[in-house]
Structures are given as structure tokens and as C-alpha cells.
């Protein structure tokens, strides 16, 4: 029987983190690297990927920066091929690339709605499909999708008014569950993290305006801190969760508990 340390050990594994150059994506990439994995960082801005990989390599891991638009099937295919050419395998995929768009249901432009759906839902599908084909051949792998508590409940528009984002994250939730059922026979586990409110460069101004309202609906009376997703993503990526699939793990300070 493996020890707890052995169960969480990702030494020799290769992990792709989409949108992993900044924010929560980078935090999760660091967590996987700290557990031993080699990392592929991809986003649409290559220079940010390069900077992120340089920081990860300080940990003693190999890191590959790749430019990739996850909504482009050809770019996603090239990302998978580049990863395999360098590491020879893909053990972990973290579908983190995504975006939000503030806009009420009655005023949101169709183009903005479609932009969010394309990145958050289609991008997650395309990456899972391309990486999944490789994982099916190997009969193993772990996919971790990044959902949100906003994909599980409605939100007061005075705090968060982004119906496109919440709709896409709800789609990611059931995509995770259904894909987990369909690919369980191949030894592939598919789970999702549902973060609560974490301050990022994208929502910092909102948090500064609505700090009291946001923290008042969180039992722990605070938002998520840097590094507080690392343990959760390492758990879902590793053998520590070998009998867990189709699960949505909320990391939200208890927001969904009331």
C-alpha cells in the first residue's frame, strides 16, 4: 500500500495547464510542479508563458512554454504534438483557460455571450478531446476542469453580474460529469475544481468596490488566498484521488454550505 506522500507524488508526470501563465492557473501549475510534475504552460501570449516557465524551472522541473488559442482545433493539436515531442506523454490536463464578461441578461450583446462560451466551453472540449485521445491510447490520465461556484448557484447581480460566465461554468460542471462516465472505461479520471471568490487581476476592481458584500456571503469571511488551490489540484491530478471521478470539488470558504 502506498504512503500518502507516494500517492501525491507526481514525479515524472507531464501536466498541461491552459491559461497557466498568470493568476490561479499559474498557482496551480506551481502546485503540480512542487508535487514533482513537469509542466506545459500555454496561453495566447507566449511571452507570459516563457516568464512563467522560467519561474517554474527554479523548482527543478522542466517547463515548456507554448502559444495556444484553445478555441482553435489546429492550435490545440499542435500543442499536444509539441508536448509529446518533449515529454513523450501527457498525464494531466488542467483546463483553466477562460474569461468572464460583465453584462446583465437584458443588455449582454450576443457577440460577447458567444465569446465567453467559445473560450470557456468549446476550449475545454477541444483540449479534452485532443489530450483524451492520447490518454485513451495509454489507458490512463487525469483531467481537471476549472468550473466555479457560479456554475452551481445563482448570484446577486449587485455582487457578480456575469450570466455568460455562470452559464459556461455550469456547462463545464456537467461536461465534467458526463465525460467522467464516458471515459472511465479507459482509466481516465475527469474532475473539476469550483473555486469561490479569489482575487485576480481580472476581478480586483470588483473586489475593491464590493469587498464587504462579497465576504459577507462566505462563512469564513474572507476570499481565497494565493496557493489555496494548489493542494486541491494536486489531489485531483494524483493517485491520491484514484477512486474519484465525476466530482466537483468546491474551494470556496463554505459559500455553498449555506
Task: State the Cα–Cα distance between residues 12 and 115, nearest whole angstrom.
Answer: 36
Q: Which pLDDT score is estimated for 160?
A: 82
Q: Is residue 8 part of a domain?
A: yes
Which domain does 116 fall in, by range?
A: 4-250
Instruction: Say if 23 falls within a structural domain.
Output: yes
In a domain? residue 25: yes
User: Is position 186 annotated as part of the catalytic site?
Assistant: no
159 assigned to some structural domain = yes
| pLDDT over 90 percentage in the chain | 87
Average pLDDT on 10-35 reads: 97
- Domain CATH number, residue 165: 3.40.50.720
256 part of a folded domain: no
Residue 258 placed within a domain: no
Write the pLDDT tens digit of every residue in 39-53.
Answer: 999 999 999 999 999
DSSP string, 78-136: HHHHHHHHHHS---EEEE-------B-TTT--HHHHHHHHIIIIIHHHHHHHHHHHHHH
Model pLDDT, residue 156: 85
pLDDT single digits (tens) 204-238: 887 788 888 889 999 999 999 989 999 999 999 99
Query: What is the overall mean pLDDT for the chain?
Result: 95
What pLDDT was estimated at residue 203?
Answer: 79
List 191's β-bridge partners, or say none. Answer: 144
Query: Between 23-34 and 46-57, two packed helices, what is the crossing angle to 10 degrees?
Result: 30
Query: How many C-beta atoms lie closer than 10 Å to residue 159's C-beta?
Result: 14
Per the structure, the count of domains in the chain is: 1
The pLDDT > 70 percentage for the chain reads 100
Kindly state whether residue 204 falls inside one of the protein's structural domains.
yes
User: Does residue 257 lie in a domain region?
Assistant: no
Q: Which of 26, 101, 125, 165 is catalytic?
A: 165
Amino acid at each position: 500500500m502506498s504512503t500518502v506522500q507516494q500517492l501525491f507524488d507526481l514525479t515524472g508526470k507531464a501536466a498541461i495547464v491552459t491559461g497557466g501563465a498568470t493568476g490561479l492557473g499559474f498557482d496551480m501549475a506551481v502546485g503540480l510542479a512542487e508535487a514533482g510534475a513537469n509542466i506545459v504552460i500555454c496561453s495566447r501570449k507566449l511571452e507570459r508563458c516563457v516568464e512563467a516557465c522560467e519561474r517554474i524551472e527554479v523548482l527543478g522541473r522542466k517547463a515548456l512554454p507554448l502559444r495556444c488559442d484553445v478555441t482553435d482545433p489546429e492550435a490545440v493539436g499542435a500543442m499536444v504534438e509539441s508536448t509529446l515531442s518533449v515529454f513523450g506523454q501527457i498525464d494531466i490536463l488542467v483546463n483553466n483557460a477562460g474569461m468572464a464578461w460583465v453584462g446583465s441578461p437584458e443588455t449582454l450583446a450576443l457577440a460577447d455571450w458567444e465569446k465567453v462560451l467559445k473560450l470557456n466551453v468549446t476550449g475545454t472540449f477541444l483540449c479534452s478531446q485532443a489530450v483524451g485521445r492520447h490518454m485513451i491510447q495509454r489507458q490512463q490520465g487525469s483531467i481537471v476542469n476549472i468550473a466555479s461556484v457560479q456554475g452551481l448557484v445563482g448570484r446577486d447581480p449587485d455582487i457578480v453580474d456575469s450570466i455568460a460566465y455562470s452559464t459556461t461554468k455550469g456547462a463545464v460542471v456537467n461536461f465534467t460529469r458526463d465525460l467522467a462516465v464516458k471515459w472511465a472505461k479507459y482509466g481516465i479520471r475527469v474532475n473539476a475544481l469550483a473555486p469561490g471568490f479569489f482575487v485576480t487581476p481580472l476581478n480586483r476592481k470588483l473586489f475593491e468596490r464590493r469587498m464587504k458584500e462579497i465576504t459577507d456571503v462566505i462563512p469564513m469571511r474572507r476570499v481565497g488566498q494565493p496557493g489555496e488551490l494548489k493542494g486541491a489540484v494536486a489531489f485531483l491530478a494524483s493517485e491520491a484521488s484514484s477512486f474519484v471521478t465525476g466530482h466537483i470539488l468546491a474551494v470556496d470558504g463554505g459559500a455553498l454550505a449555506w
